[in-house]
Structure 1
Amino acid sequence: MTGAMKAETDFDALARRLTANAAALAVAWATSRRLATRQNDSRWRRAGLVWPLFAKG
């Protein structure tokens, strides 16, 4: 087949991105839980806790 597309997947890069996302979610979850136990409602106003996987700015 001439002109066929060849698909390549970089599973190492995928694993790194998934690991980074999991770490960001874990930090956001732990911080939110800590604030919740202190009955601090500012956790709902912190973008990094509400949307931890979205880039800032």
Structure 2
Amino acid sequence: MPRREPTIHKPELAVACPECRSVPGAWCYGKAGQRMKGVHEERAEIYREQHPA
């Protein structure tokens, strides 16, 4: 069976998060250890710097 890459629904997930140390492709986690609906602002900023509009 061929192996496929995971689907990333939020483009910001393509970079690692310096705030919670989530790897690329993984969701950010908040202070309570629960998965966030969004991403940390630092992660979004890194993505915007690497992929300007």
TM class by shorter chain equals: under 0.3
TM-score (norm 1): 0.25
Q: Which has the larger radius of gyration?
A: 1
TM-score (norm 2): 0.26
